[in-house]
Every structure is written in structure tokens, then in C-alpha cells.
Amino acid sequence: MEEFKVGDRVRAHYKSGTYLGEVTEIRPQHYLVRVLAVAKHPMQGDLHSPKDGEAVFFHERRALAYREQTNVPKKMVKHFEEDIPDYTDSLRQALDKMKQELEGVSSPWAEQSLKNIASLEKDYFKQK
């Protein structure tokens, strides 16, 4: 397993999303990671029943916010050597990619996911 130090740039998988950021603290089983960009937006729906449009609870899953910190299990953190993109641009690209993938799927899960994404977009990118 890779070892990191505070300040290292990393790619961290958290729940069903993937983020780019930096290690801010080292804990026994986790790294505390500050989110600086979104590489993959979290999947919509129930994490315990993935891709099930009929799940009892269909959760709207938000991406972690810019500079939000989260505990990520050590095995889910990898080095990231490239430049970290702008958070808002990366969030837009991650959502666009997810929408493109979902538009090719005909299922209740995909339809509900697209509705959730439309709602999230309005909130994420509202004019200030």
C-alpha cells in the first residue's frame, strides 16, 4: 500500500465518487483528504441496491464540496501527479459524463438518476 504525507496530491475514491485533493492528516486507518476537484460524480440511488430504480430510498447523492474534508480509507487513496483542475469545471465535466452514460440506458434507475442530476445542476450552478 502506498504511503502519503501531509500535502501530497491524491486521487481518492469515497463512497461512489472520486475526488482529487490533498492529504491534510494521517490517521491509523484513513487519510483526511481536502477535496479540490471532482473526478467522478457519485452514483445516484441506494448504494446498497445499486442501479435499482425501485429501491425503497432513491437517494440524491451530492458531490463533496470544494475544500470539504473527508476520511478516506488508506487503500482507496492513490498518488495524483497531474495539475488539479478547477473545482467547478471538474464538477461540470463529471456531471456531463454521467449524463451521457445514463442517456444510453433505458431503465427506471437511469431515468430517476437523470432527474436527480437535473436537480443537482440547478443547485450546483445557480447564479450568484
Which residues does 119 contact at the CB level (< 8 Å), separation at least 6?
Answer: 60
Full residue range of the structural domain in which residue 77 is found:
8-125
Tell me the pLDDT tens digit for each residue of 46-101: 766 666 656 556 788 899 999 999 999 999 999 999 999 999 999 999 999 999 99
Distance CA 3, CA 106 (A): 42
Q: Is 91 part of any domain? A: yes
Which pLDDT score is estimated for 13? 97
- Report if residue 3 sits inside a domain: no
β partners of residue 17: 14
Q: 10 Å Cβ neighbour count for 109?
A: 21
| Gyration radius of the chain's alpha carbons | 15
Q: Is position 121 within any domain?
A: yes
Domains identified in the chain, total number = 1
| pLDDT value of position 128 | 54
CA–CA gap between residue 57 and residue 50 (Å, rounded): 11
What number of other Cβ atoms are within 10 A of residue 124's Cβ? 16
**Residue 2 forms part of a structural domain:** no
What CATH number should be reported for the domain holding residue 104?
2.30.30.430
Q: What is the pLDDT of residues 18-40, one digit of tens each?
A: 999 999 999 999 999 999 999 99
Residue 75 maps to a domain: yes
Residue 38 lies in a domain: yes
pTM listed for this prediction: 0.90
Three cell numbers at 22?
490533498
Residue 126 has pLDDT above 70, yes or no: yes
